[in-house]
Amino acid sequence: MRQIFLDTETTGFNANVAQNPDRMVEIGCVELVNRKLTGNNLHFYLNPDRDSAEGALRLHGLPTEFLSDKPKFAAIAQQLIDYVAGAEVIAHNAPFDLSFLDAALVRAGHKPFKKYVDTVTDTLVMAKEMFPGKRNSLDALCDRLEVDNSGRTLHGALLDAELLADVYINMTRGQDALLMDVGSANEDGVKVVQIDLSSFVLPVVAANAQELTAHEEVLDQIDKSSGGKTLWRKQA
């Protein structure tokens, strides 16, 4: 499975306004294949042809002067499309990034972003389901999942994509618990054998009469101590 963790930095927060829309100033992508980082990353600084809003500049710290000699999005669009083609793309607050990517792609004569990828996964939605009622910013998730983000003094697309990959791996750590690798491929050509434990049929051992009686006695004691208010007795 090929997954791409993607983040963008922008001049502001409005990609779709009619006059002088905000644009991307940085795109960072990190590749994960079979839950392993490959190092095959993609990173661009972009000339947005406009200044960043003050609030956005405080976040990413990329002044107009630094970006003035960088390529415009149209010049790198095809390289980005080729890189993400067919992959699952994972982003934090994905609708924000997609709004900028879609606007930039359409301006450059391409299709919207989702037309080129398999699926888009939003880790913010995942985090809200896993940690309801808690802060689920990238920094908060790094703290909660013990991902080192000490180098994140400013927002940076590539750094944030790398942090997001680590966060995602921690959030989904139990998903492969039923797969066991026996051995590993090495320079001697040893074949990797993967055992899918989910295919095993485990025996179900039913309680005997003595165990059932003991269980009922425990339930009776709990019911008595609660003054007959146990829900399972009422439902029965």
Interval 140-154 mean pLDDT? 84
Are residues 163 and 228 located together in one domain of the fold? Answer: no
Q: Are residues 132 and 85 in the same domain?
A: yes
List pLDDT tens digits, range 33-75.
999 999 999 999 999 999 999 999 998 999 999 999 999 999 9
| Domain contains 129 | yes
Please tell me whether the overall predicted TM-score, pTM, comes out greater than 0.75 for this model: no
Domain containing residue 159: CATH number? 3.30.420.10
Say whether both 37 and 87 belong to one domain. yes
Does the pLDDT of residue 145 top 60, yes or no?
yes
pLDDT digits (tens, 9 = 90+) for 16-39: 988 899 999 999 999 999 999 999
Q: Could you tell me if 141 and 72 lie in one domain?
A: yes
Read off the pLDDT of residues 76-85 as tens digits, 9 standing for 90 and up. Answer: 999 999 999 9
Residue 192 resides in a domain: no
Question: Is residue 110 among the annotated active site residues?
Answer: no
**106/18 same-domain check:** yes
- Between the CA of residue 41 and those of 4, 210, 222, what are the distances in Å? 9, 62, 59
Number of domains observed in the structure of the chain: 2
Give the domain range for residue 95: 2-179
Choose, from 43, 60, 155, 215, the residue flagged as catalytic. Answer: 155
Q: Are strands 24-33 and 2-10 parallel, antiparallel or unpaired?
A: antiparallel
User: Could you give the CA distance from residue 213 to residue 62 in angstroms, rounded to a whole number?
Assistant: 72
One domain, residues 226 and 133: no
Segment (H or E) for 89? strand 88-91
Q: Assess whether 98 and 141 both reside in one domain.
A: yes
Residues 166-223: tens digit of each pLDDT: 999 999 986 554 444 444 454 555 555 555 555 566 677 888 888 888 888 888 888 7
The answer to the question of residue 193 being in a domain is no
Q: Same domain, yes or no, for 109 and 223?
A: no
